[in-house]
Amino acid sequence: MRIAGVRVGAPSVVLLVQILEDAGFPDTATTLTNAMNVQAVEPALTVQDHEAMLAALGTYCPTGLARLRRELLEQDRWRRRTAL
């Protein structure tokens, strides 16, 4: 699955779902779970989903999700720069 343009393997997506649930972002966790169930290549995620993942990974980011976190940070910085 691709999230924010980054290839994330199924075990890492499962871990991300658990991290999101533990951090209090059940909607984003459900979106990713549903995407895995239908074997979506690149699920439709909102800016709020990206922010939820960034917040959750800011608290605890395993090595397998570090690249995703870096990309989410870069996209967030870009959004903030272009919003000015």
pLDDT digits (tens, 9 = 90+) for 2-31: 999 999 999 999 999 999 999 999 999 999
Quote the CA–CA distance of 50 and 44 in Å, as a whole number: 11
pLDDT value at residue 84: 56
Pair 57, 69: CB distance under 8 Å? yes
What is the average per-residue pLDDT within 61-82? 94
Instruction: State the DSSP H helix or E strand holding residue 26, giving kind and residue range, or none if neither.
Output: helix 26-37
Assigned token pair, 42: 């690149």
Pick the more confident residue, 79 or 35: 35
Burial (CB < 10 A; 0-12, 13-18, 19+), residue 67, is middle
Quote the CA–CA distance of 77 and 83 in Å, as a whole number: 10
pLDDT digits (tens, 9 = 90+) for 35-49: 999 999 999 999 999
